Amino acid sequence: MFSKTNLPHEPLPLPDRAAYDDATMQARASAFLGLMKTRHSVRDFAPRPVARELIETAVATAGRAPSGANHQPWFFAAISDPALKSRIRAEAEEEEGRFYDGGAGDEWLRALEPLGTDAQKPHLEIAPWLIVIFAQRWGEFDDGTRFKNYYVPESVGIATGFLIAALHNAGLSCLTHTPNPMKFLNATLGRPAHEKPVMILAVGHPAEGATVPAVAKIKKPLDAILAVHDGHSET
């Protein structure tokens, strides 16, 4: 928690520094790309337990993400309690029912057709863990007064990316789930009103026979997502 009266700028020598040669850097980058190419969102989870310590380590990794003014405007609620997961599923499916019954609009529903999704979300109970990610609109100093958080969606998005990568690196699968709206999660999990739930991650091991939509394997090529301006050429 931040102190309201003791926030000096104190530059420190860079505590961690990588000193790889170019070949090693490229090898490491390629190896990480190879790892992330094996990441898939799954909807079919095995009931195999996942240790709490593993979830805590992954969330600690997410907490190392950069954030606006270093305010770290995120909170993670990890749920393994079967009764609570069942309640979250019921509440999420209620919202999803309205979504798929026309609340989303025809265009959005057509976009989802290749993914084969519907209002039924059994993974919210079957996956051994749910991690609900909250974005904090404001924080508090140690004396209880509020301060504004900055670049909240961007900061929380980066932290979520760290979390997904950490879970995959550990050998786990996850599914991003965003029932619309998600305000029910504040009451269900006892979180304050200034925290906005942005995502549920279902986390666990994929079931035997788990599948992924064929369309999910179609990724944009590099030249469709990157423009290089190096003064020599533009690709």
**Partners of 210 in the β-ladder:** none
At residue 97, the pLDDT reads 75
At residue 206, the pLDDT reads 96
CA–CA gap between residue 185 and residue 79 (Å, rounded)? 12
At residue 94, the pLDDT reads 86
At residue 234, the pLDDT reads 54
At residue 154, the pLDDT reads 98
At residue 232, the pLDDT reads 82
Residues of the chain with pLDDT below 50 are none
CA–CA gap between residue 214 and residue 217 (Å, rounded)? 6
At residue 109, the pLDDT reads 67
At residue 1, the pLDDT reads 52
At residue 142, the pLDDT reads 78
At residue 197, the pLDDT reads 97
| Residue boundaries of the structural domains of the chain | 42-225
Full DSSP string of 165-205 = HHHHHTT-EEEEE--SS-THHHHHHT--TTEEEEEEEEEEP
Q: What DSSP character marks residue 2?
A: B
CATH fold, domain 42-225, is: NADH Oxidase (3.40.109)
